[in-house]
Chains A and B, each alone.
Chain A
Amino acid sequence: MLKYIVKRMVTMIPIILGISFLIFAILDLTPGDPARMILGDGATNEAVEALREEMGLNEHFIVRYFNYVKDAIRGDFGKSYRSRLPVFDEIFARLPHSFKLALGSILFVIIVGIPIGIISAVKQYSIIDTISLISAFLLTSMPGFWLGIMLILFFALKLGILPATGAGADSWRHFVLPSIALSGSGVAIALRMTRSSMLEVIRQDYIRTVRAKGAGETRIIVKHALKNALLPIVTVVGIEFGTLLGGGMIIESVFAIPGIGSMTVNAIRMKDTPLVIASITFSAIAISIINLIVDLLYVYIDPRLKTSIEQSSR
């Protein structure tokens, strides 16, 4: 098992190198001179030239990239061009906000999507089933940021029961609306997946056997059916976590949350190369780690998979 984890970690290295190279190259094409941006328009050409020399911007692109990687291996990911702070400080200052947002929406996906999906499957073709399928369909057709705007309109401006913007350090209340907005499509996907996966399991023979033996309906569903229906559900929830990181960016800007997403958008606009590379690589690493955790969860849910994983790591 450990071998498998280590192997997965090792395969991440070329991907991370690839991402950093790609972002480095894309931002290098971006018009604008970072040295000029740092010093402002009033600076003399000599001062800009001196700073360019100091930052190593006059070197060839490939040389600069290798220098960057060399520093990164030693743990120095550079400083933000704008704030002159180490990029790691910038990222970790914003991480709690993004993390709370992602956690909140995963929570919604799990506590709303999965139970409704189960009810939908158990009461197939009932009114509850129809309503939940229609709402799931509407949610998948709705951009998260518009859902966010509608939520602000209704819960913050009309009813005034929840705050519309800002990530107040004081309470969870600021994260309720953004989390719902971000979780919208995830809830819909989890709901549909749970429903179809449960429908498949419910019809199997062993469920009939359990029922014949006189087990209660709740026990059948939760203990026997759900356990076997869980695998595809875990997969989609895992994939959703990845999209949450990307989608979080727009939700963060709708609700003015100072998280990693909104920081990245601003950094891209400001051509703050070190910050952009670090934050995008960071998101990619986070996604790969989540994928790894999902794969490990498979083994926990279905121990039969352990052999196939151990074989693949040989």
Chain B
Amino acid sequence: MMIEEKTITTANKSSTKRRGQIKSIWFRYKKNKLAMTGLILMGVLIFIAIIAPLIADYEQDAVSQNMKIRLQPPSIEHIFGTDQYGRDMFARIIFGARVSLAVGLASVVISSVLGILIGSISGYYGGMIDNILMRTMDVLLAIPSIFLAIAIVAALGPGLINLLIAMSISYTPGFSRIVRSSVLSVKNQEFIEAAIACGTKDNRIIFKHVIPNAIGPILVQVTLSIARAIIHVSSLSFLGLGVKPPMPEWGSMLAEGKPLMRDNQYLVVIPGIAIVLSVMALNLIGDGLRDALDPRLKN
């Protein structure tokens, strides 16, 4: 009973300390105006993506063709104009945000979880396991990630889920590398030694002690990777290897608009701005997070 109480109090203590740390990170982050701009911009984009069905009708505005109103430049009725099939560009942009943001976010979450598993096992145990895992990752890293993603999409066939799988696989090696090196830097510190001396089990040490202390650089990498993932989703869709038409996606909208851009510049300008805005927001958040997590790094 006594012992139990003791552990509870220490647990409470450490959780207040943790909360204190998060609070102070947030405090530093808040002071950074650019980082806050990024956060607000991202919030607005996610909000629009979530309420998209309330703003426009997916079937009627974004997918079904209406040749009577094709290629209309931006006006009050269609603020971003209409494309060559008479579909409302604004509706396609906001539904496209769902695809880009969801695939970008999901692929990075999946690959970072895989990367944390592989990287921490590899970094913590070292030796043979480390060698096998890291040499496999080296092979994957040696292939430009976009080639790898294209090859996997080709094997599985185009489509949303396959795109997600391909991108998750191609990001995993990068994450495992980063996690491994942060684990290595934490592993030899004294508190890990203390935990080992207390007889703590390996998986508990990894998940309770090693990863929380190595999470900073990983978190920054996650934010910046989502930005990169959004560029990759649109690149693959631009090449016709992403989502299947008529599903709206920013990259495929650019590919459809490109042959007509001489006379209809808005077709290629607007989807590009959507990509730039979301990538920019995430880059701002990532940079801000890096400064907030480690104030020493700021120059």
A interface, CB within 8 angstroms of B: 14-15, 18-19, 22-23, 26-27, 29-31, 137-138, 140-143, 145-146, 149-150, 152-153, 157, 196, 199-200, 242-243, 245-247, 249-250, 253-254, 264-265, 268-269, 271, 276, 280, 283-284, 287-288
Contacts and interface: CB of A to CB of B under 8 A. Distances in A.
A141 B147 contact: no
A152 B262 CA distance: 10
Contacts of A199: 299
A142 B254 CA distance: 14
Given A143-B235, A143-B275, A268-B150, A246 B283 contact: no
Contact of A141 (B135, B143, B227, B269): B227
Given A15-B142, A18-B135, A269 B227 contact: no
Contacts of B269: 150, 153
B151 interface: yes
Nearest to B166: A26
Interface stretch (B108-116, B152-160, B209-217): B152-160
B265 interface: yes
B139 A15 contact: yes
Contacts of A18: 135-136, 138-139, 142
Given A26-B155, A29-B155, A145 B235 contact: yes
A143 B234 contact: yes
A245 B143 CA distance: 10
A150 B262 contact: no
B74 interface: no
21 contacts: A15-B135, A22-B140, A26-B155, A29-B156, A141-B276, A141-B279, A141-B283, A143-B231, A143-B234, A146-B234, A146-B268, A146-B272, A150-B272, A245-B144, A246-B146, A247-B146, A249-B146, A254-B258, A264-B150, A265-B150, A271-B154
B139 A153 contact: no
Given A22-B140, A157-B261, A246-B144, A145 B154 contact: no
Given A18-B138, A22-B139, 4 more contacts: A23-B143, A26-B154, A146-B254, A149-B254
Interface size class of B (residues with CB under 8 A): 35 or more
A22 B148 CA distance: 10
Nearest to B284: A137
Interface of B: 135-136, 138-140, 142-147, 150-152, 154-157, 227, 231, 234-235, 238-239, 254, 258, 261-262, 265, 268-269, 272, 275-276, 279-280, 283, 299
A288 B139 CA distance: 11
A182 B242 CA distance: 21
Q: Give the dominant DSSP class at B's interface.
A: helix
A242 B151 contact: no
A207 B231 CA distance: 41
A23 B155 CA distance: 10
A19 B154 CA distance: 17
Nearest to B257: A149
Contacts of A15: 135, 138-139, 142
Contacts, number: 115
Contact of A145 (B140, B254, B299): B254
A292 to B, nearest CB: 13
Nearest to A276: B151
B238 A26 contact: no
A14 B139 CA distance: 8
B283 A283 contact: no
A4 to B, nearest CB: 18
Contact of A149 (B152, B258, B299): B258
Contacts of A140: 283
A19 B152 contact: no
Contacts of A245: 144
Contact of A26 (B142, B151, B235): B151
Given A15-B139, A22-B139, A250 B235 contact: yes
A31 B158 CA distance: 12
Contacts of A143: 231, 234-235, 272, 275-276, 279
B157 A31 contact: yes
Given A246-B145, A249-B147, A271-B154, A157 B135 contact: no
A268 to B, nearest CB: 4
A153 B265 contact: yes
Nearest to B299: A196
B147 A26 contact: no
A19 B143 contact: yes
A137 B231 CA distance: 15
A283 B155 CA distance: 20
